[in-house]
Structure 1
């Protein structure tokens, strides 16, 4: 293994400011929190709450700074474990990329059409696959955005 490869561990980290939270994770499971997200394009902004558990993929040299922001108590999980358990990294998008505005505008149109439905029968006509596109927002984050945890579930 080269020195360069060793800077990127095969581990995802989850940090907490409270050691009791870490013990709760070890004794039961991770708790989902709502994180307030903002996907910002050139002409559009979409703000929403996303239920998530945050993991980070850091170089070892970045751990100290990250721990200063998110807490000194952490747990590391192999990327293999994450893959087996269906974890997926977020996709970072640039505020200046046309994709971001196109995506925001497309989903705003979907939300508008869903909001205009007044009849339960009409709503039932929307397939689960159409609704699942909204789930994509859970995996999109604007570059340089800050995570704000709102509430534990």
Structure 2
């Protein structure tokens, strides 16, 4: 018999309309499903970089589509913080589209043995230092006539770190209670940088309050996946 680790899921769930009234959440969910697109917040591109930002999470701002890796029976706390309207996909489906877990950073943690430093300050200093260094290096390569290959290699490394490391940083305060909206660790977040295209048959589960069940079936007659009532 295969053993099951219950605190992770075979599905990844995306919730919609966090700051919207309930009826607008439902309308948004229907619009998303009919469109076949999960669209990230418009930031003027897939990734925005601001080396002078105050907070660590604002230095590299990716345009992301987020999912929670939480089993269906344990979603109540997450839904209280975000929304009780959502849709889920098989984890394998999203992995093939580039989904990956974020890198959680306990901002109130300590780094170093002798010169102890708060982790958030340590990461912020080094990420900002990286952008200063790499920009100076690019300038030097151009001014001193380095071969195009050297610049290409540097830009490849820069792109890798921005898109696949910095874009997945998720700072959180480990001193917060589980129910605190700023305790992001319990989200078990996976993300995709960019938008997600899907078909209705890719959806494995739709999550809505029970009172919207009849309306959902009327508006999405071609949906044959699971419907889970959130209240």
Distance change (3 Å), C-alpha of 1:143 and 1:4: farther
Asked if 1:60 is matched to 2:84, the reply is: no
1:8–1:60 Cα contact (<8 Å) kept: no
CA distance in 2, matches of 1:120, 1:127: 11
User: Please, which runs of 5 or more residues in structure 2 have no aligned partner?
Assistant: 18-24, 44-53, 113-118, 174-181, 185-194, 196-231
**Corresponding position of 2:56:** 46
2:16–2:86 Cα contact (<8 Å) kept: yes
Asked if 1:22 is matched to 2:33, the reply is: no
| Greater relative CO, 1 or 2 (CA 8 Å, sep 6+) | 1
Q: 1:98, CA displacement in angstroms?
A: 2.3
**TM-score normalised over the length of structure 1:** 0.69
CA distance in 1, matches of 2:63, 2:141: 26
Asked if 1:74 is matched to 2:86, the reply is: yes
Q: 1:113, CA displacement in angstroms?
A: 2.9
Of the structure 1 ranges 63-72 and 79-88, higher mean CA displacement relative to structure 2 is found in 63-72
Distance change (3 Å), C-alpha of 1:24 and 1:120: farther
**Corresponding position of 1:131:** 159
1:107–1:134 Cα contact (<8 Å) kept: no
Asked if 1:12 is matched to 2:6, the reply is: no
1:7–1:61 Cα contact (<8 Å) kept: no
Distance change (3 Å), C-alpha of 1:70 and 1:97: same
**Corresponding position of 2:202:** none
Cα shift readout 1:82-130 (whole Å, capped 9, x = no counterpart): 12211111011222152845543332112223555768945x8342222
**Corresponding position of 1:90:** 102
Q: 1:30, CA displacement in angstroms?
A: 0.5
**TM-score normalised over the length of structure 2:** 0.48
Structure whose alpha-carbon radius of gyration is higher: 2
Number of matched pairs? 139
